[in-house]
Amino acid sequence: EEEEEEDSFLQPVDDYFVEPPRAEEEEEEERILPSSSYSPAGVSKATTTARPTDGVDVYFGMPGEISEHEGFLRAKMDLEERRMRQINEVMREWAMADNQSKNLPKADRQALNEHFQSILQTLEEQVSGERQRLVETHATRVIALINDQRRAALEGFLAALQGDPPQAERVLLALRRYLRAEQKEQRHTLRHYQHVAAVDPEKAQQMRFQVQTHLQVIEERMNQSLGLLDQNPHLAQELRPQIQEPFHSEHLDPNELEAPAPAGSSEDKGGLQPLDSKD
């Protein structure tokens, strides 16, 4: 039985996120029960919870409501719309304050301008933190989905090997599905690292060793699974030639950690690529 997957090295950032508020408990109006009832009149309380509607709140507070990729894209769009609304409101207040301060001394007007500039800077820092949290959370959730696919594919491969007798075609299909799942995790891990390296080189340097270790673990898992074929020499002789070429063509060199994320990387375009249903 496969051991539990080690904790993902992709940890979401907790800055700037507040759980959506819950509605306060409200008392219902006192009502008199029918005379046929033995219970005295009383006051009951009904507790309702407001469902978040903003894409960011839905994404963080209600995972699984919609697909991961769709939820991430909506959250990212709503975050930018929220940012623009907040900026417009600050600029409106700034314009009003500036208009009312025309007769104030120059030093006071300068202080007023610095005040609103500080508000805008704080707003941008908060939005930047939420953007990063979105990316980190999305990466963590995608890793979890990929791990589920990989475990299911590995179970299918082991079941095919244990057939009596094992059917070569079934084993080959199951092994290819498993290797695709492992290679998908490799690509995702590498893309995420390259994205972090592009936006936060210091953080990328801190996580570099963990990323390398994670990629090595994936490599070892694939080699161990391929080694299971050797327990059946007939299967190994028939299937290994059909596996080696696609296996090596998709192999990732650890040196690719040095490569920057492509200009059109999936994270920059609005998230990691959605999982392939066929896998």
Identify the CATH number of the domain in which residue 115 sits.
1.20.120.770
Give the dihedral of Cα atoms 155, 158, 164, 167; nearest 10 deg: 100
Give the gyration radius of the chain's Cα atoms: 28
What does the pLDDT read at residue 27? 38
What does the pLDDT read at residue 25? 37
Total domains in the chain come to 2
Q: Which residues of the chain fall short of a pLDDT of 50?
A: 1-49, 259-279
Tell me: do 71 and 136 sit in the same domain. yes
Residue pair 203/210 in contact (Cβ under 8 Å)? The answer is no
Q: Would residue 133 count as lying in a domain?
A: yes
Residue 239, domain extent: 163-255
Q: Would residue 42 count as lying in a domain?
A: no
Q: Would residue 154 count as lying in a domain?
A: no
Tell me: do 91 and 177 sit in the same domain. no
What does the pLDDT read at residue 82? 93
Tell me: do 63 and 134 sit in the same domain. yes
What does the pLDDT read at residue 57? 85
What does the pLDDT read at residue 278? 42
Closest CA to 207 of 195, 217, 219, 218: 195
Tell me: do 58 and 142 sit in the same domain. yes
Return d(Cα 189, Cα 249) in angstroms, integer: 18
Tell me: do 107 and 134 sit in the same domain. yes
What is the reported pTM? 0.61
What does the pLDDT read at residue 135? 87
Residues in the chain: 279
What does the pLDDT read at residue 125? 95
